[in-house]
Structure 1
Amino acid sequence: MGSTPEPGLLAVDLGLRSGLALYGRDGRLRTYRSQNFGSQSRLKRAVPSVLAGTGPLAFLVLEGGGPVADVWEKEALRRALPVLRVSAEDWRERLLYAREQRSGGQAKDAADGLARRVIDWSHASRPTSLRHDAAEAILLGLWGVLEVGWLPQVPAEVRAR
């Protein structure tokens, strides 16, 4: 008989096109993707399935707010799933150097490179192309595993440039 997997952490870069990143209790990225919900009504219908399809969860981490965040939070509340909400500025401050945040373009390029290093360190499948929302979700999830104590610090292999 197989054992039940340990609950993970799901990070969501919010939007009608959302980035999703699932982390294991060991702090490593398991899966990531971009999903286009298309409309608020389709998002409302899809969120319960997305959460159910990820397996057991210990935390949901959301970047941003507004009506899209409310949909995710309502479903998390229904499941008694703890939610951490953070702004992009806050997780970037913890993960990116100040010189990488001088402009939006610099921050996006730095985030892409850091997300790819997380993918490599985690031994997750490599993307042929990495959408910006998926890269942001990967880093949001890294912030989340640091925040909840699943990792004590950003791994040296990820931080190295």
Structure 2
Amino acid sequence: VMACVPYGHGGFSSKYKRSTSSLLPSTCDILATHEPPKNILDRCLSGEKAGSSSLRTAVENMKGLPPKLWVCGHIHEGRGAVRTTFGTQRDTRETLIVNASNANPGRANHLVYGPIVVDVSSKDEITDGSKKPIAQEKRTFRAQKREKQEGEQELLLAIDLGLRCGASLFDDTGKLLRYEQLRFADEEDLHKRAPELIDSWRNDINAENSIDSNGLEIKNILSYLAVEGGGHLFDAWESSLDSEDKKDIQLVSVRPEEWRSHLLTPKERASSRSCKEAARLIARQVVSDFGLMGDHKGRFKTDAAESVAMGYFMANHLGWIERKPLISRYSNGKVIVPR
């Protein structure tokens, strides 16, 4: 038995007059809804859990067994699969919940993933279109602050996605430690070198033997990997965290329009060209005000500049940098840059 709930009934529309419970049978094997249930695969970019409480309550109150499979979408950042148990008036059974969203995080404007295939005839194995198993647990698309231990200093690595890309490294005091323009030959080269780059940058920082105000050695922990964009190149950075020594690094997907809306003026966001020019100016300011390497000399490579700007935005989001306004400007609105 398969049941479907019309889009919008979980709380986004008053079009449907009947209660959610009345739209569901007493039991079903497969349930398809647009929205996910509350608190399950439903965390959006803002950090809010935006799933449907009414849908979850309706399933919990089913007279018979809950569905074996619950397929949903809507919250693009929640793509993934989990197993859970819903309470019922009879003996319950495990439900496999699959958020099959395949668009980019935030407001959808392009597809990022292919379909998810669920073989419910055997062991409920979850695979993508190529039959390759996908992770049951999803990395977050919004930075969740971790509990910092004594003697630790957290690091954020910001990546402007591409085969020609930028990378920047911030610490939890808001200091810009390093930035570079990088180039990869192809996707295979990116998959190979991405984990090596993470190891190299992390090891280089720890090799400097930083000392705190009490004379104790500081252990630098790479806590966040923020990547702008999505698609196959994003997958390379995600897979770079598969090893045991990187399992605690939190992967965060950042939309270009997200950091630009916080750092750039509407006029600067008017075109791709003006966005890039503004990013180069903002990066110069960030390097001058927060960098440890002195003012940037020469022309700022766009990809490196955008990684610095995006990393600066993320450092502010994490509470590492508190400055209002975030960007210092002249009275005419232009970015103040070192001369």
TM-score using structure 1 length: 0.89
Pairing partner for 2:305 from 117, 132, 135: 135
- Is 1:35 paired with 2:178? no
- Is 1:121 paired with 2:268? no
What letter corresponds to residue 17 of structure 1 in structure 2? R
What letter corresponds to residue 132 of structure 1 in structure 2? T
What letter corresponds to residue 299 of structure 2 in structure 1? S
Structure 1, unmatched stretches of 5+, are none
| C-alpha distance in structure 2 between counterparts of 1:119 and 1:154, whole Å | 17
1:52-100 Cα offsets, whole Å, 9 max, x none, are 1111311110000011111111222431210111111111001111121
What letter corresponds to residue 272 of structure 2 in structure 1? G
1:6-26 Cα offsets, whole Å, 9 max, x none, are 231000001111100011111
- Is 1:152 paired with 2:299? no
Measured on the aligned residues, the alpha-carbon RMSD in Å equals 1.8
Q: 1:20–1:66: structure 2 CA closer, same or farther, 3 Å change rule?
A: same
- Give the Å deviation of 1:109: 1.2
% identical equivalent positions: 30
| C-alpha distance in structure 2 between counterparts of 1:94 and 1:65, whole Å | 20
Matches within 5 A, 1:7-156: 7-55=154-202, 56-78=221-243, 79-80=246-247, 81-123=249-291, 124-125=293-294, 126-153=296-323
- Give the Å deviation of 1:107: 1.4
Q: In proportion to residue count, which structure has more helix? A: 1
| C-alpha distance in structure 2 between counterparts of 1:59 and 1:122, whole Å | 19
What letter corresponds to residue 38 of structure 1 in structure 2? A
What letter corresponds to residue 279 of structure 2 in structure 1? A
| C-alpha distance in structure 2 between counterparts of 1:103 and 1:134, whole Å | 19
What letter corresponds to residue 285 of structure 2 in structure 1? R
- Give the Å deviation of 1:154: 5.3
Match of 2:8 in 1: none
Is contact 1:146–1:154 with CA below 8 Å preserved after alignment?
A: no
Give the aligned length. Answer: 157
3-state secondary structure, aligned to 2:241: helix
What letter corresponds to residue 96 of structure 1 in structure 2? L
| C-alpha distance in structure 2 between counterparts of 1:32 and 1:98, whole Å | 27
| C-alpha distance in structure 2 between counterparts of 1:17 and 1:5, whole Å | 32
TM-score using structure 2 length: 0.44
3-state secondary structure, aligned to 1:76: coil
Is contact 2:167–2:179 with CA below 8 Å preserved after alignment?
A: yes
